[in-house]
Structure 1
Amino acid sequence: MDIEISVVVPAYNEEENVELCYREIIDALEPLGISYEIIFVDDGSTDLTFKKLQYLSKNDDRLKVIKLRKNFGQSAALRAGLDCATGKNIITMDADLQNDPKDIPKLLEKLQKEDFDVICGWRFDRKDPFLKKLFSKFANKLRKSFTGETIHDSGCTLRAYVKESTESLELYGELHRYIPAMLFWKGYKIGEIKTNHRERKNGRTKYNWKRIIKGFLDLLVVTFWQKYSLRPIHIFGSIGILLSFIGGIISLYMVILRLFYGVGITDRPLFTVSIMSIVIGIQFFTIGILADVLVKIYYSQNGRKNYLVERIIE
């Protein structure tokens, strides 16, 4: 039987939440009368998360549990779940119960009835500490200025996807936050709806200052990758040409001073700047050529994954 919906839930040290999350997902999906599967990805938890999921899977063949060998991060855990999902449409959400499974039918309805490939949840009334909301608001504005996509809440994991849109996503680091941007760049149509957001009652948040810094660095990488991954020579070569041109103009000026005005140039800082600009410009151009070669090698390789699965329970 074909699976209509796959629900992918990454979990890391959520022993107090996974069972209730599982029950709430079932309560949300059963009234729809469609075939579905639930995929929990244990991202190297050090508590009883996996054992609880293992116990639940014994009594439900719709529940699939993936255990990663160590904590690879939410992006890798999502990728592992997406790789195992067989549904025509895919729902992703957090296991901490802050996302409300009751919103799943609304996401699916908008995805299926309107011409969208992805529907993102928008935590319109967030139940998070003030500082976390402040940082997220700043991060969303920064992301919009870099990427050009207009989703209000890129950090919300609760989303609905047409399966095709997830197949070419490369997820590592904190890139799960930029999935809408990556799909937007690929030409997929992105929509959003307001969703319910609940306070965390059990467990500890995984959000900290380290993730903020990593998220910003990943934003720079993903922006560069999406704009210049096919031809990095365009940016490196442009910088190289610009620097070489500036260096050449300054050198010409210094030569004119020496030939026509008898001014000494070897002990002038401007002469050093001109030579360094030319040398660095040539280096940038060379880096662009080498990067182009590496990109061709990268795209010639298939089946690259950034996680290791210890076992799968079906």
Structure 2
Amino acid sequence: MDISVVVPAYNEVESLPELTSWIKDVMQKHGFSYEVIIIDDGSNDGTWDKIEELNQVDAAVKGIKFRRNYGKSAALNVGFEVVKGDVVITMDADLQDSPDEIPELYRRIKEEKLDLISGWKKKRYDPLTKTIPTKFFNAATRKMSGINNLHDFNCGLKAYRSEVVKNIEVYGEMHRYIPVLAKWAGFKKIEEQVVEHRARKYGTTKFGFSRFINGFLDLLSIFFVGKFGKRPMHFFGAMGVLSFLIGTIMALWIIGEKLYHIAKHIKIEREVTEQPLFYIALVAVILGSQLFLTGFVAELVSRNSSNRNNYQIEKEVV
């Protein structure tokens, strides 16, 4: 099969007939074999009934229904598990992504041998309350991930080699950072393509302000897990040793100063326990010990994890 299109949908009953018809027209025009997998993310507006209806008309339209709303990341992850196409396209169900972009995305994945293409909605129809935070997160993601050639990490319209989606796990709010997940998994041929952003035709946006907080926390999680997931002691241990040493040096300085005053018979104005620096040193020593122990426990958990030796192997000759 040439193409699998994965479409997360939450209360999008009005847009699905037009979207699937549009995808079908594009696929038939270019002679692609394809499937459209729609994941109903706990909708309550009849979305699943519409998916079943569309499946009766066109067997290429398939569906998966969640019992409740889990979020876009969960929908994508489940969709990625069942896709059969050589190239996987993800797009939103709200008709803001254009299926007319699919042939060029497919061509570039195949001819340029790319792992992932992320869409860039250069001209957007979203309100400032959405575009300004998005620009901030994109800038932060570029800085932390080192993927400097992408302007829009969160664009729903993306294309992947099937191998990519089979080797990444998307959860939480991680759908915003799939290019980062792909990079950490060893897929480095990541490019961008300017795509059309259309105004929403039906319904309202399903995302609130909390997504920005969750998205930022997930970005930190990706950075930490990708860099230290298999060696947590390198992070916690280094921080712990540094804090412990700083606290110890400060404590020794205070004690040494007191001993010097005693040896020289100099009047001591304040006892050791009356100095603020003593308590700062004490906190640094305790914090350093806790961080080191945290790293030790995390290392034990990592070594006993079923995924401790789960490495991405691109090719093999046996």
Counterpart amino acid of residue 164 in structure 2? S
SS at match of 2:273: coil
Partners of 1:289 and 1:175 in 2: CA distance:
27
Deviation of 1:168 after TM superposition, in Å, equals 2.3
Deviations 1:57-103 (A, max 9, x none): 11222121100111000000000111111111111110000000000
SS at match of 1:216: helix
Q: Matched residues, percent identical?
A: 41
Q: 2:170 aligned with 1:171, yes or no?
A: yes
The count of corresponding residues between Structure 1 and Structure 2 is 301
Partners of 1:108 and 1:273 in 2: CA distance:
59
Q: 2:156 aligned with 1:157, yes or no?
A: yes
Counterpart amino acid of residue 226 in structure 1? G
Q: 2:130 aligned with 1:132, yes or no?
A: yes
Give structure 2 stretches of 5+ with no counterpart.
263-267, 310-318
Partner of 1:182: 181
SS at match of 2:191: strand
Partners of 2:147 and 2:246 in 1: CA distance:
35
- Of stretches 284-293 and 264-273 in structure 1, the one that deviates more from structure 2 is 264-273
Q: 2:47 aligned with 1:49, yes or no?
A: yes
SS at match of 2:230: coil
Partner of 1:311: none
Partner of 1:12: 10
Counterpart amino acid of residue 201 in structure 1? K
Partner of 1:220: 220
Partner of 1:256: 256
Partner of 2:302: 295
Give structure 1 stretches of 5+ with no counterpart.
303-314
- Of stretches 113-122 and 141-150 in structure 1, the one that deviates more from structure 2 is 141-150
Partners of 1:273 and 1:75 in 2: CA distance:
43
Deviation of 1:11 after TM superposition, in Å, equals 0.2
Partner of 2:313: none
**TM-score (normalised: structure 1):** 0.92
- Of stretches 25-34 and 89-98 in structure 1, the one that deviates more from structure 2 is 25-34
Partners of 1:167 and 1:256 in 2: CA distance:
60
SS at match of 2:293: helix
Partners of 1:87 and 1:298 in 2: CA distance:
32
Partners of 1:222 and 1:249 in 2: CA distance:
34
Counterpart amino acid of residue 37 in structure 1? E
Deviation of 1:301 after TM superposition, in Å, equals 8.6
Deviation of 1:190 after TM superposition, in Å, equals 0.3
**TM-score (normalised: structure 2):** 0.91
Deviations 1:102-123 (A, max 9, x none): 0000111111110311111111
SS at match of 1:149: coil
Partners of 2:301 and 2:98 in 1: CA distance:
43
Q: 2:84 aligned with 1:77, yes or no?
A: no
Partners of 1:278 and 1:100 in 2: CA distance:
57
- Which among 5, 21, 24 is matched to residue 23 of structure 1? 21
Q: 2:240 aligned with 1:240, yes or no?
A: yes
Partners of 1:110 and 1:218 in 2: CA distance:
30
SS at match of 2:6: strand
Deviations 1:38-60 (A, max 9, x none): 10000000111110011111122
SS at match of 1:65: strand
Partner of 2:101: 103
Counterpart amino acid of residue 153 in structure 1? D
SS at match of 2:132: helix
Deviation of 1:7 after TM superposition, in Å, equals 0.6
CA RMSD, Structure 1 to Structure 2 (Å)? 1.6
SS at match of 1:55: helix
| 1:172/1:246 CA distance change after superposition, 3 Å | same
- Of stretches 260-269 and 216-225 in structure 1, the one that deviates more from structure 2 is 260-269
Q: Which runs of 4+ in 1 moved over 4 A?
A: none
Counterpart amino acid of residue 107 in structure 2? E
Counterpart amino acid of residue 45 in structure 2? D
Larger Rg: 2
Partners of 1:228 and 1:165 in 2: CA distance:
21
Partners of 1:195 and 1:106 in 2: CA distance:
10
Deviation of 1:207 after TM superposition, in Å, equals 2.3
Counterpart amino acid of residue 92 in structure 1? T
- Of stretches 18-27 and 141-150 in structure 1, the one that deviates more from structure 2 is 141-150
Name the structure, 1 or 2, with higher relative contact order (CA <8 Å, separation 6+). 1
Partners of 1:250 and 1:282 in 2: CA distance:
16
Counterpart amino acid of residue 186 in structure 2? G
Deviation of 1:267 after TM superposition, in Å, equals 2.2
